[in-house]
């Protein structure tokens, strides 16, 4: 049979997963709620219509739709990875003396520390993230930044760069973050030069990624820390449970409880409009859409993840038929 005849006979159907994300993209493209972050002047310039969804499975399959090649700064989603590096540098016990693991129920930028321990509540809000980043080892500012960039390279599979205009924009206006750093210095929770710690924190937030990159990073966390595309170990697998636990309980700020209830998978959002979600042993999901709700989470991103979780049965505590008609708790086979 000729190639032409072959093609004529074949009915090429998109995969079910691609159909689901294409439909969600069409459904929410016209949703105009939310406003883009403007407290960092450079972020206010982003186009609010940008919208993409990417899924990368733990065996390296990729499904995506929309502006998935559009670069943006990773912002708070970087906190997840910096936490992993701090754990690798110091171990669980020491890191716990500097940053707790309790949800705050407060906004991402709230200036509160635990009354008793004086620790920031968790590594997913700004105060905790600044304390976490101050733990990253290195002989000087350049070496520390290089270690952070090298860490991102392992998770993503290619070199990454800092958006200098976003970095300098945040550095010159980030007085609230600076105030948190001073408060933590006062309580001995940060012991290095705080301007250097803040610079590294602002730089890690200004690392440029696209939606596909975020999904690969999420898939790496879903795959015991091994990047499913390159096969490289990005983070020691012993810390995956620590990282995913704080994402699950604290990753969506003061929406974390409702997220855990409705969506039911570890996730992290950022004021860039990105949301990264991890379905352990299955896939990484990323959504990018800059307009944010009042809690600082992407409006379209939350809607897409809620529906994806429902349609694919991704909630970690979903009851599913496991074998011989018996029921169990866990993810469905998608
Ligand atoms: N760089 C931002 C800040 O520190 C990150 C905040 C966020 O994404 N929620 O304010």
pLDDT above 70 coverage of the chain, percent: 94
Ligand 1 mean position, distance from CA 299 (Å): 17
| pLDDT (mean) for 20-25 | 97
Q: Which has the minimum average pLDDT: 52-56, 137-141, 321-325?
A: 321-325
Task: Give the Cα separation of 166 and 139 in Å (integer).
Answer: 25
| pLDDT (mean) for 205-212 | 98
Task: Give the Cα separation of 127 and 247 in Å (integer).
Answer: 16
Please name every residue paired with 73 in a beta bridge, in sequence order, or none if there are none.
208
pLDDT band at residue 191, thresholds of 50, 70 and 90? Answer: confident
> Active-site residue 326, yes or no?
no
Alpha helices (H) in the chain, listed in sequence order: 3-9, 16-29, 78-90, 92-98, 126-133, 141-156, 164-173, 175-186, 194-205, 211-222, 240-250, 256-262, 299-312
Instruction: List, for residues 35-74, the tens digit of each pLDDT value.
Output: 999 999 999 999 999 999 999 999 999 999 999 999 999 9
Ligand 1 mean position, distance from CA 199 (Å): 13
Bridge-based pairing state of the strands 267-269 and 274-279 = antiparallel
pTM tops 0.75:
yes
Read off the DSSP letter of residue 40.
Answer: S
pLDDT at 280 over 80: yes
Is 170 known to sit in a ligand binding site? yes
Task: Give the Cα separation of 301 and 317 in Å (integer).
Answer: 21
108 within ligand 1 shell (Cβ under 6 A): yes
Considering only CA atoms, give the Rg of the chain.
20
């Amino acid at each position: 049979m000729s190639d032409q005849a072959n093609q004529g006979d074949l009915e090429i159907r998109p995969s079910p997963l691609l159909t689901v994300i294409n439909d969600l993209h069409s459904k929410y493209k016209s949703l105009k709620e939310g406003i883009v972050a403007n407290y960092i002047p450079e972020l206010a310039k982003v186009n609010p219509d940008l919208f993409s969804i990417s899924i990368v499975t733990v065996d390296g399959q990729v499904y995506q739709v929309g502006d998935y090649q559009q670069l943006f700064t990773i912002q708070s989603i970087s906190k997840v990875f910096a936490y992993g590096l701090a754990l690798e540098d110091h171990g669980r016990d020491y890191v716990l003396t500097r940053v707790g693991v309790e949800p705050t129920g407060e906004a991402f930028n709230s200036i509160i520390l635990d009354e008793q321990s004086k620790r920031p509540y968790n590594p997913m809000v700004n105060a905790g993230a600044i304390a976490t980043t101050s733990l990253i080892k290195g002989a000087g500012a350049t070496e520390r930044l290089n270690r952070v960039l090298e860490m991102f390279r392992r998770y993503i599979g290619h070199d990454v760069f800092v958006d200098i205009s976003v970095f300098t924009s945040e550095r010159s206006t980030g007085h609230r973050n600076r105030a948190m750093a001073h408060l933590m210095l006062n309580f001995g929770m940060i012991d290095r030069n705080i301007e250097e710690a803040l610079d590294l924190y602002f730089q890690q937030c200004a690392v440029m990624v696209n939606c596909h990159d975020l999904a690969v990073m999420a898939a790496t966390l879903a795959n015991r820390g091994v990047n499913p595309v390159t096969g490289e170990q990005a983070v020691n697998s012993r810390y995956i449970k620590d990282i995913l636990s704080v994402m699950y309980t604290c990753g969506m700020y003061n929406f974390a409880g409702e997220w855990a209830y409705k969506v039911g998978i570890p996730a992290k959002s950022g004021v860039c409009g990105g949301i990264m979600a991890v379905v352990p042993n299955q896939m990484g999901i990323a959504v990018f859409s800059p307009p944010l709700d009042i809690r600082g989470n992407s409006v379209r991103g939350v809607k897409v993840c809620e529906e994806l979780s429902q349609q694919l049965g991704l909630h970690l505590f979903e009851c599913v038929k496991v074998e011989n008609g018996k029921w169990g708790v866990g993810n469905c086979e998608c």
